[in-house]
Structure 1
């Protein structure tokens, strides 16, 4: 009986000790950048990035990374990327919002870019770019200044004076402190469109000609220059540039922006618009 009693007390002590001990954490420290990097290397660099982004495995790798550490902003952006490229914005944008919430400094400008080019939320894009400009003055996204995207959004909203101002800022930033930097041809194109909308036809022609000097086959610059000539009753020049725009499109020339394969940029044209304009000129 005494032995049984002693055995009972021993078992009770062991049970109490086990109950008081904290369980050992099975995963690493998700607040550690080094640990996060090991997970990114495992699930993305050696996982998702070795399969097509159209493969279900891509999303599965991202889900595994998120399950391991739910505070890695890059995981949400990478999970969203295939959805963005396939046009599923209803599913992708909440993931981008999560990435921004976790790392605003890195992903806010990217979200502004998506709103401008993909979802056409121009007011939302402007708000994002204005906010990120406070965090990272004179920063860039997708090879352009924040002002470039602001200008494109203001142009689509019909705020032509604000667009003109934004493109002036964009050009000043590209020129740099010494004023010697070159201006991107798409900035010149957009600035030309804004000037034309403000009925500043001479200034519009100047910008669009500068664009064509840098990129003679630019379809949009030829098209909008043609419209600029047409409104000034110069049909021969209008036809010349419309035909140049048509040849360029048929030959495969485009804006030379990486994401035109997935979404149209503001004011981007197709051959249909060119054919319609040619009919108008030929009347």
Structure 2
């Protein structure tokens, strides 16, 4: 018995030494039922909650934790999305999207809208984004992604494709969903901003002015809303008001205000401006 005890412990060691750590190459996790949600949850807790999420997503270990989870259970969609996330933030879309596609394949209900968001904001694949959001709308009618309705992202995509009537329809639906059945819900200022951009692009200057003014009531320091409202006033032959809002945009940018979305640190949103655009517009106005 004595001589077998050390051997028994040595066989147990690999399994337990990896608890909360990335598995070594060629090692395997403790056997379990990958069809069991409870077992999947235990692995997510082990490799992500107590592993990857305790370190920087820029660390090579982040990917190793995700690989360990995938090796243990290759049917957990979240593992592929989490492995893709640092790649997306670093702009390595070629490596990220096969992982995101795998997550969608395993759980379209959860990750299809997320992929549509990435296509709209990160890779500028607006046609692909629209297709994803229209598909997920059939799975989850009136769902949301990144704090916005699916129609919001369809509207942004149609705007960027130059399909202004479709964009107008999408934002009208977005606003109706936000107002709710009782009509009292508040409209997100970015919906008002992009609806204003659509109206401006369609040369509906009065409507653009209305949307952008409503946007600025909610977020007065919004640089982009001030900038595009200035261009709207300029198009209407109102130079004093145009200059006033260009100067407001310049002050806002200098003060650190930006288009307010979580992912502006990793991707430029449609219509996003810098101080350069404002400076050039002020020069054109004779300032």
TM-score normalised by length of structure 2: 0.89
Q: Aligned to 1:153, which of 140, 157, 170?
A: 157
**In the alignment, structure 1 residue 201 sits paired with structure 2 residue 205:** yes
Shift of 1:81: 0.4
Structure 2 residue aligned with 1:27, among 26, 31, 42? 31
In the TM superposition, residue 186 of structure 1 has moved relative to its aligned partner by 0.5
* Alignment deviations for residues 74-130 of structure 1 (CA, whole Å, 9 cap, x no partner): 000000000000111010011000000000000000000000010110100000000
> Which residue number corresponds to residue 140 of structure 2?
136
Query: What residue in structure 1 maps to residue 81 of structure 2?
Result: 77
2:248 is the alignment partner of 1:212: no
The yes-or-no answer on 1:68 pairing with 2:75 is no
What is the alpha-carbon root mean square deviation over aligned residues? 1.1
CA displacement at 1:26 relative to structure 2: 6.2
Matched, 1:176 2:173: no
Distance in 2 separating the partners of 1:262 and 1:272: 20
- Return 95-104 or 25-34, whichever deviates more: 25-34
How far apart are the structure 2 equivalents of 1:26 and 1:37? 14
Q: How far 1:46 moved relative to its partner?
A: 0.5
2:284 and 2:192 map into 1 onto residues whose CA distance is 26
Shift of 1:233: 1.1
- 26 and 193 in structure 1: CA distance in 2 versus 1, 3 angstrom threshold: closer
2:56 corresponds to which of 47, 52, 58: 52
2:19 — aligned with what? none
Q: Secondary structure at the match of 1:71?
A: coil
Corresponding position of 1:190:
194
Name which of 83, 94, 108 aligns with 2:98. 94
Number of the residue aligned with 1:250: 254
2:123 matched to 1:119?
A: yes
* Bigger radius of gyration: 1
Unaligned runs of 5+ in 2: 1-28
Name which of 231, 239, 245 aligns with 1:241. Answer: 245
- Specify the alignment match of 1:13 in structure 2: none
SS of structure 2 residue aligned to 1:256: coil
Aligned to 1:6: none
> 1:201, 1:100 → 2: CA distance?
41
Aligned counterparts of 2:257 and 2:165: Cα–Cα separation in 1: 30
The number of aligned residues is 259
Cα shift readout 1:232-258 (whole Å, capped 9, x = no counterpart)? 111111111011001101111012210
